[in-house]
Structure 1
Amino acid sequence: MQSIKVKRAGGLENIYLSKDTESSAPVKGEVKVKILASSLNYHDYLVADGHLPLEQERVLLSDGAGVVVAVGQGVTEFKVGDHVVSTFFPQWLSGSPSHAVGDFAKTPGDGIDGMAAEYVTRDASAFTVAPKGWSHLEASTITTAGLTAWRALVSDGNLKAGETIVTLGTGGVSLAALQIGKMFGAKVIVTSSSDEKLQSAKALGADHIINYKTNPEWAKDVLAITDGKGAEHIIEVGGPGTLAQSVESVAVGGNIYLIGVLTGFEGNLPTAQLMFKQTRLQGLLVGSRSQQQDYVKALEANNVRPVIDKVFDYGSLADAFRYQVSGSHFGKICVQW
């Protein structure tokens, strides 16, 4: 069986194709899945390039979609031939996050071997059904990026029709947020440094677009668009470099979901403005298995498909990561065998 691993030290030059890995037959409570596609996330890059330390070499990637090829004793949720997609926190089945999901100890592609393998055998709870009618490439995008946006806006944010969302950038989480927003009848404002990407976002249904490179104080534009009220929901993927503008953009009593830290891990926090606006600033890491199941149902009920920018072979995973960090993509980058 083939898999794509990275050596313990990390580094894109240390990613290699392994043919010595075997996937065991499923025992009680397990399923064996033939993995056909994965999608890349920033967390995957941090692992692959050595920014997140590993205790040993690791099969990469947290997201995987494929077909069940065998089921162990007692498994009733899945049968051979079912199309499934992995979960980011296989131990987080439902409810609020707890210490059990406070790190990545059981996350595929980090604490345990990931989905860049031809076959994986895991507890049945490590998968959910994939959206009906979706390709494996499409399904592979929901595990991390799609579910993160769903949890932020719907599970935690209680998104309502007519509310306003600001999404920063045009990566997987941000575009999923745009699509979810339109599913719920929300107004969506998309920011980017690329006019070309902004026009693509407009074609996807964005109500307003802002180039933050030419408008560095883009909060003023958000306030103008919302008649001074601000946005109820901010999908914050930048971190300290963009947080001040997000705080200025948010409505009184609104929500800022801190999902990414692309501009760094430390910075100044406008605490007074947060307090006066009574803003909820929420750090957020993906979601639970039950939230993923809810998301799948919503996707099936709406004519929505993920945006896939480019597809690589698993054997070219290092090149896929290089393309990812170039920032050229619009939507998700996927890999397939």
Structure 2
Amino acid sequence: MKSYHVNAGDGLSGLKIVETKEIPLPGPDEVVVRMKANSINTRDLMIINGDFHFPVKPEVIPLSDGSGLITGIGTNVTRFQIGDKVVASYFPHWTNGSIDGSTSAQLGSEVDGMLTEYAVLSEEAVVHAPDHLSFEEAATLPCTALAAWNAITVGEPLLAGHSVLTQGSGSVSLFAIQFAKAFGAHVISTTSSDQKAERLKELGADEVVNYRKTPNWDIAIRDLTEGQGVNRIIEVGGTGTLQKSIQSITLEGRIALVGRVSEEDVAIGNNVLSSSIYTLHRVVVGNRAQLTAMNKAIAVNQIKPVIDRVFSFQEAHDAFRYFAEQPHFGKVIIKH
């Protein structure tokens, strides 16, 4: 079988393909997955470039996200059968409850990831993929989709008629729009161009604010909500946008901090921090139970992930370059 390996900080030139003579066999509690597709996340690029702030094992197999078919099962495995279509959980040891030091290892960093022809995983680290999705679509789910799901569902329930603000057109925000609409929410999105605004509306956004044309977009959000502010914000910008998010939230609203894509590192004054009553919650992808719940919701609502471009397994370097250098709307996929 063939697998890609890289050391953190070696850059894309250090991403090497290694061929072994034998397909791995499962242990008693393990499954073997013939990988069919992977998707790339920003954290995968950070690992390769040495910018990841968590441990990375030497010669790691990269990528947290992938889908495939089970081709081997151990003698103790009860949750799966040969031929099941599956995805792996981003945190393979975190099945439920709160995360801690014993469950925080991540695929593609402390633990070998999914950019390989065959992956061996504990059956506890794997869940069934939604039947209506292709392998390419299913491969998008473990990281950004689950982060968006938990940003939408964390804390008090999101109810039909509530308002949700998403930021930009990154994959977390695209999934958040789809999930929020599935809950019956009113979605307002921000973006940088009228072209992207139209695509966000096609995906389900009810209203879109172009933040280049409207720099004070927090005022626009207030106007669109009759001065009340939104019930929930999917915060992906970090401190570069958090101040305006606080000024856009309704009383007792919730801000789910998922990322920090903004290049600005802005100090937020006490007056802004105390200007509303809100909960700020840091989202860290999610556990297996949450992944299972999300997949059920995706299946019931027949949600389809947005895919920008598909590369072959042999074109993995090109896929990473495209992800890093080209604007994309949706996920970048590596197909086996």
Query: Structure 2 length as normaliser, TM-score?
Result: 0.94
Alpha-carbon distance change, 270 to 323 in structure 1, aligned in 2, over 3 angstroms: farther
Q: Which runs of 4+ in 1 moved over 6 A?
A: none
Distance in 2 (CA, whole Å) between partners of 1:171 and 1:21 is 39
- Kindly state the Cα deviation for residue 172 of structure 1 after the two structures are TM-superposed: 1.2
Counterpart-to-counterpart distance in 2, 1:272 and 1:111: 41
Tell whether the 8 Å contact from 1:23 to 1:120 is kept in structure 2 after alignment: no
Identify the residue that residue 27 of structure 1 maps to in structure 2.
27
| Alignment-derived partner of residue 252 in structure 1 | 251
Q: Look up the SS of the partner of 1:156 in the other structure.
A: coil
Relative to structure 1, the CA distance from residue 50 to residue 183 in structure 2 (aligned partners, 3 Å threshold; closer, same or farther) is same
Partner of 1:145: 144
Structure 2 counterpart SS, 1:199: helix
Matches within 5 A, 1:273-312: 273-312=272-311
Letter aligned with residue 73 of structure 2: V
Q: Which residue of 2 aligns with 1:186?
A: 185
Equivalent position SS for 1:242: helix
Counterpart amino acid of 1:307?
Answer: V
Q: Tell me which residue corresponds to 2:43.
A: 43
- RMSD in angstroms over aligned alpha carbons? 1.7
Following superposition, the deviation at residue 126 of structure 1 comes to: 1.2
Greater CA drift, 252-261 or 275-284: 275-284
Once the two structures are TM-superposed, the CA of residue 110 in structure 1 deviates from its matched residue by: 0.8
Residue-pair matches, total:
334
Change (3 A) 1:265 1:225: closer
Deviations 1:23-43 (A, max 9, x none): 521111100000110111111
After superposition, give the CA deviation of every residue in 1:72-98 in whole Å (9 maximum; x if it has no partner). Answer: 011111000000001001111111233
Say whether the 8 Å CA contact 2:77–2:123 is kept in structure 1.
yes
**How big is the shift at 1:271?**
4.1
Map of 1:315 onto structure 2 = 314
Does the aligned pair in 2 maintain the 1:247–1:270 contact within 8 Å? no
Aligned AA for 1:71? I
2:68 corresponds in structure 1 to 66
Relative distance call for 1:64 and 1:22 in structure 2 (3 A) is farther
Matches of 1:48 and 1:3, distance apart in 2: 15
- Any unmatched runs of 5+ in structure 2? none
Q: Describe how 1:1-337 pairs up with structure 2 within 5 A.
A: 1-20=1-20, 23-52=23-52, 54-101=56-103, 103=104, 106-264=105-263, 266-326=265-325, 328-337=327-336
Structure 1 unmatched ranges of 5 or more: none
Q: Which moved more, 1:179-188 or 1:309-318?
A: 309-318
Residue 134 of structure 1 deviates from its aligned partner by: 1.2
Is contact 1:23-1:121 (8 Å) kept?
no
- The one-letter amino acid paired with 1:91 is H
